[in-house]
Structure 1
Amino acid sequence: MLIKSKPFGEIEIDDRQRLYFPLGVLGFEGLKDYALMDATQPPFYWLQSLDVQEIAFILIEPRVFRPDYAVSVPDSDLEEIGITTPDQMLTFAIVTVPEDHRRMTANLQGPILINRAKRLGRQSISLDPTWQVRHLILDELAKIRS
């Protein structure tokens, strides 16, 4: 499938990269069709809206910089996208990259959860107060390495 993406322009994707978010993403509830794409700089990914080319989110798997990260969301959120066991789920956090890239943050309070088999996604709100909206990725990585 040929799509128009914010980061790469026109690009071919595999059908397996397509995701459906029945409730959209917080703040973008009307946009339901997305593609999950590798970014040119690992460990990042792009979640590209298939409806609006200009809407794309940078994602990271939280355990890359917070090995202790655990998903703690209402069971009903998982049931909505058919997740019954942890191995069915991919977990991502939305990344915000400010002008000073060293200050990029990840939203661990609002994880993006994906049922890998059904290709259904949902953004949830964590029930664990440990996880905040702005975790400084590079600072967290430095803690791991020290």
Structure 2
Amino acid sequence: MAATATKTVMKPEANEAFYFPQGLAGFSDAHEFGFIYEGHGDIVCLQSIDSPEAAFLLTPWDEERLGAAPKLPNEQCSCINIDEQSQIMWMLVLNPFADKQWVTANLRAPIALNLEARMGVQCIRADSELEIRYRWMKQPA
């Protein structure tokens, strides 16, 4: 599986958690997360094992729509045992509640995954031009 391929869907092992050494925005104490995937579509649920109230919808980075995936800073690459940027699977956090008509994606804080090491980190990007409510898809009927 190509780490940055568009429309790539993870097929995580149900009983193996991913470790996020830095936690996620708003949940810095939540380090272990499981993925819930029903086996169809390109949206997964990232559920905290440490803090049950922390759950996020994720979808793979789409190079066709968004261009090249971001570059993870070296410090964060080390944090999740990444030697090369091509090893990263980039995911976007979706928000189905911010807009009545659209499910939005946060382009300013994507998640980088090392699938092999089962580790992840959220890459908070300082670029204020990046949208935190990018219109990703119409709200389901």
Q: Normalising to structure 1: TM-score of the pair?
A: 0.73
For 1:20, the aligned partner's letter is Y
The answer on whether the counterparts of 1:20 and 1:34 sit within 8 Å (CA) in structure 2 is yes
- Please report how far the alpha carbon of residue 39 of structure 1 lies from its aligned counterpart in structure 2 after TM superposition: 4.5
Unpaired stretches in structure 1, ≥5 consecutive residues: 1-11, 140-146
Secondary structure of the residue aligned to 1:87 is: helix
Would the alpha carbon gap of residues 83 and 93 (structure 1) be closer, same or farther in structure 2, given more than 3 Å must change?
same
Would the alpha carbon gap of residues 98 and 13 (structure 1) be closer, same or farther in structure 2, given more than 3 Å must change?
same
The answer on whether the counterparts of 1:94 and 1:106 sit within 8 Å (CA) in structure 2 is yes
- Please report how far the alpha carbon of residue 33 of structure 1 lies from its aligned counterpart in structure 2 after TM superposition: 0.6
Partner Cα distance (1:19, 1:31) in 2: 11
For 1:13, the aligned partner's letter is A
Match of 1:124 in 2: 123
Secondary structure of the residue aligned to 1:76 is: helix
The answer on whether the counterparts of 1:92 and 1:111 sit within 8 Å (CA) in structure 2 is yes
Alpha-carbon RMSD: 2.5
- Please report how far the alpha carbon of residue 24 of structure 1 lies from its aligned counterpart in structure 2 after TM superposition: 0.4
Q: Residue 58 in 1 paired to residue 65 in 2?
A: no
The answer on whether the counterparts of 2:71 and 2:85 sit within 8 Å (CA) in structure 1 is no
Match of 1:111 in 2: 110
Secondary structure of the residue aligned to 2:78 is: helix
For 1:47, the aligned partner's letter is L
Partner Cα distance (1:45, 1:117) in 2: 18
Larger Rg, first or second structure (1 or 2): 1
The answer on whether the counterparts of 1:74 and 1:127 sit within 8 Å (CA) in structure 2 is no
Secondary structure of the residue aligned to 1:138 is: strand
Q: Residue 33 in 1 paired to residue 45 in 2?
A: no
For 2:26, the aligned partner's letter is G
Extract structure 1 runs of 4+ deviating beyond 6 A: none
Would the alpha carbon gap of residues 64 and 53 (structure 1) be closer, same or farther in structure 2, given more than 3 Å must change?
farther
Secondary structure of the residue aligned to 2:77 is: helix
Match of 2:73 in 1: 74
Identity rate of aligned residues, in percent? 28
Would the alpha carbon gap of residues 115 and 95 (structure 1) be closer, same or farther in structure 2, given more than 3 Å must change?
same
Greater relative CO (CA pairs within 8 A, separation 6+)? 2
Aligned residues: 126
Partner Cα distance (2:88, 2:74) in 1: 13
Would the alpha carbon gap of residues 25 and 99 (structure 1) be closer, same or farther in structure 2, given more than 3 Å must change?
closer
Unpaired stretches in structure 2, ≥5 consecutive residues: 1-12
